[in-house]
Amino acid sequence: MTNEPNKQSRYRAPRLAIFNHKGGVGKTTLTVNLAFAIAEKGFKVLIVDSDPQCNLTSYLIEEAVVDDLLDNSDSDQGATIWSALKPIAEGTGETKVIPAIEVSTNLFILPGDIRLAEFESELAPLWNECFKRKLRGFRGTVALSALVNAVAEENGVDLVLYDSGPNIGPLNRIILLDCDHFIIPAACDAFSLRAIRTLGHALYEWVGDWQTIQELAPDNVYLLPGLPKLLGYVPQRFRVYASRPAAQFASFLPRIEKTVVEDVITVLARLNAVLVSSAAHPLKLAEIKDFSGQATAAQEEGVSLWTVRSGTPAQRADAQSDFQAFAAMVLRRIGVTKQ
Amino acid sequence: MSESSKFSPEEITRIRSLVKYYQESMFEKADRDAHNIAGHFRSKPLANLIHSIKTRAKDPSHLEDKLFRKLTASKLEGGKEFDITTENLVERVTDLAGVRLLHLHTQQFPEINAHIKSLLHEEGYLIIEGPEARTWDDEYRKVFEFHGIATIASERLYTSVHYIVQTSAKSKRTIEVQVRTLAEELWGEVDHSMNYPVPTEIHACKEQIKVLARLTSSCTRLVDSIFSTKGAAEKLKQ
């Protein structure tokens, strides 16, 4: 262990997570297509596949390449997120910077790995070491953020998108604390409302704990910003008939909005007003239709919902305009503009 | 409390509000700081040289006593202003968090000191004062000075090595680290209970505490001697 002052500094690009610990809310589809839409606007986007299920990696990278990446990730030539973080998880050294893969114009991915779960299991003890003010704890807790700094800088990225697994675990804790912003994708059902409630309270705890840890931290240690600002929510998978959401889904929209206000915004505002400073009206950032058949095909082809071969031209145009509007809204809220 | 009569209601309110601030906003942090630094000291090889470690966050009533004493002192120094505020409390009172390392005999100290310094350095703590050895024993003064440790004469016959450590320049919170032998701890505990917060006025007790200092110093010296005899005997065998 060295006593060199940590020279790490945060790379300028804002970081965003589309986060809900409830699965099946279309996180990956939403993240990928938002990334495609932003890349089309001429911004460089880095997607970090930080979900050990690596759905996003298999979405964007062809199967043979993914197999190769995963087969070699534990070796010295490894090039997945696990290869990068393995020295931290095993306590053998510093993070190894790996190259991002450019999957299409302006769109980069940091490939995920099933073995990232092994890094995650080290994160809980590392978190406790932060409370004991041990440098090892700080170094491990910020390792992913430091990796993103290096990879984003190397590619001159304008925006970083994290894709996270559907749980409230130690990995998602460091991801959310590394993000400048987050969006809640919500399905139109009762479980989703319950999930939003626990999400607000988990975030409250994480941000509060991180404040304590920051106060304990030695000088010159690179720290997570720890203030993820809510941008809003995106209701998912509701069916649309004659341009209007079907009745059973429509009835859920005000309930989602109410839960976000009461159990996320009000809760986080108690901690720090900054956390909700980007949650302007409207909170609903987009309405994403159920593109089910099209989404499956897009995933297989590794393309956006509007460049996929399946579906009708009208469906593709619909998908494109939905995501372009969503992307424009996100960029405006985050404050990313053309230089 | 007895001080009340000597201070104006404004002064009492001011000190009580500092104590309240400490109790509500700083006590938990001081307690955590003390435990955290003790956690580092419990690692090997330092742990092999240490008998036991005590941690504490300053008791709020002891802080109150200390602040009243500082107020009295500032008045005695010819109207020098008492300028402790909630903003500078952690800088002006450097023992809100305290850790005491107890060991067997003085000859262990140079090695203990080296470990403490390197541990604190590695973990990014800043030693802002010390080590300073308070001692009244000429022979031990030479031992400390030989190893480059500053010494302060102690008329009260108090014996201990002190460091003031800062958790970070940004937070300005400090921890007082004390290192002393078990025999010195015995003297310190007796002295504390007789003379704190108000010094005893019983002549015989004052006398006996001074004799006790000589006895406990001799105990430490005897333990040094026992271990150096053992070391020398083992060398001979080889």
Residue A41 C-alpha from the chain's centroid = 20
Is B209 inside any structural domain?
no
Please indicate whether, in this complex, the C-beta atoms of B122 and A132 are within 8 angstroms of each other: no
Is B216 inside any structural domain?
no
* CA distance to partner chain A, nearest, from residue B172 (Å): 10
Please indicate whether, in this complex, the C-beta atoms of B167 and A131 are within 8 angstroms of each other: no
Please indicate whether, in this complex, the C-beta atoms of B123 and A221 are within 8 angstroms of each other: no
Q: Which residues, given as ranges, of chain B have pLDDT below 70?
A: 1-5, 79
Is B163 inside any structural domain?
yes
pTM across the whole model: 0.88
Please indicate whether, in this complex, the C-beta atoms of B167 and A216 are within 8 angstroms of each other: yes
The string of pLDDT tens digits covering residues A197-240 is 999 999 999 999 999 999 999 998 999 999 999 999 998 765 55
pLDDT band at A336 (very low <50, low <70, confident <90, very high): confident
What kind and span of H or E run contains A294?
A: helix A292-301
Using the Cα atoms of residue A52, residue A57, residue A58 and residue A62 in order, give the sign of their dihedral: negative
* CA distance to partner chain A, nearest, from residue B223 (Å): 35
| Interface probe, candidates A132, A136, A221, A223, chain B, greatest B C-beta count within 10 A | A132
Q: Which residues of B touch A221 (CB under 8 A)?
A: 124
3-state SS class at A308: coil
The string of pLDDT tens digits covering residues A193-209 is 889 999 999 999 999 99
Nearest by CB to B169, from A132, A133, A219: name it: A219
SS3 for A153-185 is HHCCCCEEEEEECCCCCHHHHHHHHHCCEEEEE
Is B237 inside any structural domain?
no
B13 Cβ partners below 8 Å, 6+ apart? none
Q: What secondary structure does DSSP assign to chain B, as a single string?
A: -GGGGGS-HHHHHHHHHHHHHIIIIIHHHHHHHHHHHHHHHTSTTHHHH-SEEEEEEPPHHHHHHHHHHHHHHHHHTTS------TTTHHHH-TTSEEEEEEES-GGGHHHHHHHHHHHHHHTT-EEEEEEEEEE--HHHHHHHHHTT-EEEE-TT---EEEEEEES-TTT--EEEEEEEEHHHHHHHHHHHHHHSSS----HHHHHHHHHHHHHHHHHHHHHHHHHHHHHHHHHHH-
What's the confidence (pLDDT) of residue A187? Answer: 82
Please indicate whether, in this complex, the C-beta atoms of A216 and B121 are within 8 angstroms of each other: no
Cβ-contact B165, B177 below 8 angstroms: yes
pLDDT band at A245 (very low <50, low <70, confident <90, very high): low
Tokens (6 digits) for A78: 């490894």
Is B167 inside any structural domain?
yes
Chain B residue nearest residue A139, CA to CA: B123
Please indicate whether, in this complex, the C-beta atoms of B167 and A1 are within 8 angstroms of each other: no
CATH (domain of B91): 3.30.460.10
B129 Cβ partners below 8 Å, 6+ apart? B94, B162, B163, B164
- Please state the domain count of chain B: 1
Chain B residue nearest residue A129, CA to CA: B36
Q: Which residues of B touch A218 (CB under 8 A)?
A: 123-125, 167-168
Cβ-contact A147, A79 below 8 angstroms: no
How are beta strands B97-103 and B52-57 bridged, if at all? antiparallel
Mean pLDDT of chain B: 92
Q: Which residues of A147-186 are buried (b: 16+ CB within 10 A; e: fewer)?
A: bbbbbbeebebbbbbbbbbbebbbbbbbbbbbbbbbbbbb
What kind and span of H or E run contains A49?
A: strand A45-50
The string of pLDDT tens digits covering residues A122-145 is 999 999 999 999 999 999 999 999
Tokens (6 digits) for B97: 């968090």
Write the CATH number of the domain with boundaries A2-334.
Answer: 3.40.50.300
Nearest by CB to B121, from A3, A219, A221: name it: A3
Please indicate whether, in this complex, the C-beta atoms of A134 and B124 are within 8 angstroms of each other: no
Residues A273, A262: Cα–Cα separation, whole Å: 15
Residues A98, A79: Cα–Cα separation, whole Å: 5
Q: Torsions phi, psi of A16, nearest 5?
A: -135, 140
Q: For residue B159, give the amino acid letter.
A: T
Is B228 inside any structural domain?
no
Chain A residue nearest residue B120, CA to CA: A3
Domain residues for the domain of B120 are: 4-182
ipTM of the complex: 0.81
3-state SS class at A205: helix
The string of pLDDT tens digits covering residues A264-278 is 999 999 998 889 888
How many other β-carbons are positioned within 10 Å of the β-carbon of residue B210?
13
Residues A236, A288: Cα–Cα separation, whole Å: 6
Domain boundaries, chain A: 2-334
Q: Which residues of A touch B170 (CB under 8 A)?
A: 219
| Interface probe, candidates A213, A216, A221, chain B, greatest B C-beta count within 10 A | A216
